[in-house]
Chains A and B, each alone.
Chain A
């Protein structure tokens, strides 16, 4: 009976085939839902802009200040403005995705295979996000310094060349594994505890999971901003 309450399912997916590509359907469904939620909130909040903000507009302005604060703290006063949309999108997407996966009881919706959960518990999502970060810090470096960007590979001395090249690979690797592992670990811990004691005991762990997943959103966007700042300066 307990197994019907919480089965630990890792590695089962709802497969969609699109022109020879195999796609994890359950991830895409929740991703679209996340995008829809963020879009509706922002569009609703910015439809009727007022001098004295109230309601959703007030909320959105404080969110904007928080998000641009992340970018400003890392990239600096002079360069940060063009990167606010990117850093803000990363933060909001990961935050809403994590909380949507943790707060909504997706177990109630049955799929033919796999189960609905936070899209960030699939390694493909997090790798895509961290590759976006890689592309954008290369773009930032080239835009700022041109070919002089390559000078950072032999700084402080040419001996560090292999390590500096390796760093370009370890950055997206650690970013994606950190987010993926944290979200999946939280879900597994909650499911295992539900399996052992289905009442009350998992609640504090769920609250801890909510906290941890918001910190992970902050960490991901802060690190992306730090990498961009590193290649700009």
Chain B
């Protein structure tokens, strides 16, 4: 096993999750803020807003999950380690 490849894979795995978490983090914050605003404006629409918010949060979360899948591939099923 080449130590440089192993080290680079571990660093890349960390970076993959860290970088993939930035965008969805900002997006989820914006979505939650807008949902709170909507709730303050129209408290009677709570159920609908909650359902839509949860669904869209799950979509944004999946972007980080793609990064996680890449990281898992690098850690447990690395194609470059002979």
| Chain B nearest CB, measured from A211 CB (Å) | 9
In the complex, are the beta carbons of A185 and B68 less than 8 A apart? yes
Q: Are A185 and B55 neighbours in the complex by a CB distance under 8 Å?
A: no
Cβ distance B23 to chain A, nearest Cβ, rounded Å: 15
- Residues B54 and A215 in contact, CB atoms below 8 Å apart: yes
A66 beta carbon closer than 8 Å to chain B: no
Taking residues whose C-beta sits less than 8 angstroms from the other chain, chain B's interface range is 10 to 19
Decide: A181 and B76 in contact? CB cutoff 8 A.
no
Contact check, A218 vs B62: say whether CB atoms are below 8 A apart. no
A177 contacts B72, CB within 8 Å?
no
- Evaluate contact between B76 and A10: CB separation under 8 angstroms: yes
Docked CA distance A143–B62 (Å): 32
Q: Which residues of A contact B54 (CB under 8 A)?
A: 215
Chain B binding surface, main DSSP class? helix
What 0/1 readout, one digit per residue, does chain A (176-200) give for beta carbons within 8 Å of chain B? 0110111011001000000000000
Q: Is the CB of A218 within 8 A of B72?
A: no
Contact of B65 among A10, A11, A181, A215 (CB under 8 A): A181
Partner of B58, one of A10, A184, A215: A215
Taking a contact as CB atoms under 8 Å apart, the answer to whether A177 and B76 are in contact is: no
* A57 in contact (CB, < 8 A): no
B77 within 8 A of A: yes
A177 engages B55 (CB within 8 Å): no
Which B residue sits closest to A12, measured CB to CB? Answer: B76
Provide the residues of chain A in CB contact with B58, threshold 8 Å: 212, 215-216, 218-219
User: What is the bound-complex CA distance between A180 and B77, given in angstroms?
Assistant: 15
CB distance from B15 to the nearest CB of A (A): 17
Which of chain A's residues have a CB closer than 8 A to the CB of B59?
A: 219
| B62: A residues at CB distance < 8 A | 174, 177-178, 181-182, 219
Residue from A178, A182, A184, A216 within 8 A of B72 (CB atoms): A184
B positions within 8 Å CB-CB of A = 54-55, 58-59, 61-62, 65-66, 68-69, 72, 75-77
| Cβ contacts A to B, 7 pairs, < 8 Å | A177-B65, A180-B69, A181-B62, A181-B65, A182-B61, A185-B65, A215-B58
